[in-house]
Amino acid sequence: MAGERGPLVTALVGVLSAIGHVGYQPDWTCERCREPWPCPTLRRIPRDQLEPAALIRMMAFLVRGAIRDLRGRVEGPEPPEIVRRFFWFLPLTDDEARAIARRLR
């Protein structure tokens, strides 16, 4: 995984690790606040402080695993919900989230 990251993604992962709001497979729960990851604390980072290009690359890499891990759990999120959760910073419609989820299955 580290070999696939660009410098912005690596920096973002470092920042997330430093603040402790990181989620891991298979539960995708924030290790600090125990909320579904990406957690509300992460999502509250002002948009002007985000690097959308880096975030898109990182989340695209992670969301496939999240869909695989979370799909089909009792009362768990559906794949389009997972896509919207991981790409909270993009204005995705329901149809767009469904299309992305279908491509990532």
The tokens 């509250």 sit on which residue? 44
Determine the pLDDT at residue 75. 84
- What integer pLDDT is reported at residue 1 of this predicted model? 41
What is the C-alpha to C-alpha distance for residues 69 and 21, in angstroms, rounded to an integer?
Answer: 19
Question: Is-contact 50 90, C-beta < 8 A?
Answer: no
The whole-number pLDDT of residue 14 equals 59
Ranges of residues in the chain with a pLDDT under 70 are: 1-19
CA-CA distance, 42 to 65, in Å (whole number)?
19
pLDDT of res. 21: 79
Per-residue pLDDT reduced to its tens digit, 38-49: 999 888 888 777
Has this prediction a pTM greater than 0.85? no
pLDDT given at position 20: 75
Residue 2 is predicted with a pLDDT of 40
Q: What is the pLDDT of residue 5?
A: 47
pLDDT of residue 95: 97
